[in-house]
Structure 1
Amino acid sequence: MTTKSSEVRFLEVAAVAAALLVFIYFILNWGFEGVIHARRTQTVPDLKSRSIAAALDQLAPLNLGLRKTAVEFDASVPISSVLRQDPPAGTVVREGKTIKVVVSQGGQTVMAPAVIGLPLRNAEMLLRQSQLSLGEVSESYSLKQEKGMVLSQDPKAEASIERDALVNLVVSGGAPPGGVSLMPDFLRKNVEEARSWAAGAGASLEIETDKISLFPSGTVLTQTPAADSVLSSDVKVTILVSGRKGATPTVAAKLFKYELPQSGSESQVRIVVIDKYGERELFNGVRKPGSKIEVPIQETGGSRVKIYMNGILVEERDL
């Protein structure tokens, strides 16, 4: 009898506990729904093409949140701006809702190859390989480059630009016809060559000196106008010449050496040196795999040599 009475009492307690739990559940559920439905509704604004900061400013007064879920390339939408959103604009949501967005990385970028010194056809092929397009091609007379060779490019080599962008080139038209005078290239030559040319051409020559240059005294360091510029009858030429007083410092004259990889095919090799006076070309030519290139160079400190193969920078060295 006692055992049966205990079982009945246990069942009664269990039933009461279950009923209490059900009651608590409905009370809590009713309370939560009341809190949720007490929040005001808001219409999701259009965030496309807005910067993240602007999107946050637009959502804050509406008590809506923002979360970046992914990034994608898209040239039509500015970098770091909203590309897509979820929920879409116009959706009615409760305050506190988080709007998920995909952010644009802008257009895909590539590095412009170095095509100066290449034949126009080779330059165009290299641009295509680099996912770029040939833009405007203009022609300029040149004493330095043969007809059809690239003299300059815009954008410059190694510039980061959008894929499929246009690269404009200036191509050599060869030596000028009679009556057209071009500025010679006097860089790293002796000042006496410039004096002799100026006297024969009737040009006004102004000579400035750099007294701390490590180059031998009388070496032309810079010139204005630049080489191959068309000269007018009243042109004024200015050159900067090494003119350090006292004993001429020893400038380390040495051979710069570079060996092409053994594999592959013929490559267009261009070697340039960059120092505080600017950039000048040391070598430009086609060489077979495994070829060795040796060019004389004066080591003055603070210089850097860049080596390009088929327009692509493959190595840099400090001197």
Structure 2
Amino acid sequence: MALRTRVWSAGKLFLLASALVATYLLFAAAAMRLALTSREVQVPDLTNRTANEATAVVASLGLTLKVDDARRPHPKIDAGRVLAQEPAPGSIARKQRSVKIWLSAGQRSATVPLLTGETERTAQLRLAQDGLTLAAVSEIRSQDYPSDAVVSQEPPAKTASANVALLVNRGDRGASYVMPDLIGVNGDRAAEILRGRGFRVAAVGSTPYPGVAAGIVLRQSPQAGFQIGPGEPISIEVSR
């Protein structure tokens, strides 16, 4: 009987100790979570504040401020004011964490750079870097300028403007001819002359035509008057 009483007492002590340990662990976890939560703050929105104002705001929350040296132009935010930040506004951050900001350089002066002589791609990149708009691209074909080079620009360099138009040389297309009228001409003779000029001529068919001698051109492609270059194909249909 005494042994049973001692075992029962030991069991109660064990249960009591277990309950105390569980309670301690529960309160410890809650306290740790509370401590961690108390060290977290919501990142404020610093947009359009000065660097001094932003410093005061983050310091009041236990955060620090880091200002990037590079300033970015912005059409609406004045120079010296915050235009971007990291972490983003509304995000959760631990105290003592740094908030990085970028300051505005203000509105960039829209002065057109010298683009004449540059390639079209280089001119496009330069305009994008300067925040200018490529309004239009016109083309010429000439042997007097390098291919893909900017021949002229509007407005000229050092002019205040947000839009720029370019004239670009696409290079010489090479020799071209006007397709002659072959209808009614002897097909063999016409083909011989055209092949001598570098054209590829093929008779694609023959059709009986009353009153017309055999071998006379009845149809042609391209039609008379079209621009055509050496090496391009020409097809004719002759009578039989």
What's the TM-score, normalizing by structure 1?
A: 0.26
Q: Which has the higher contact order (CA 8 A, sep 6+)?
A: 2
What's the TM-score, normalizing by structure 2?
A: 0.33
More helix by share: 2
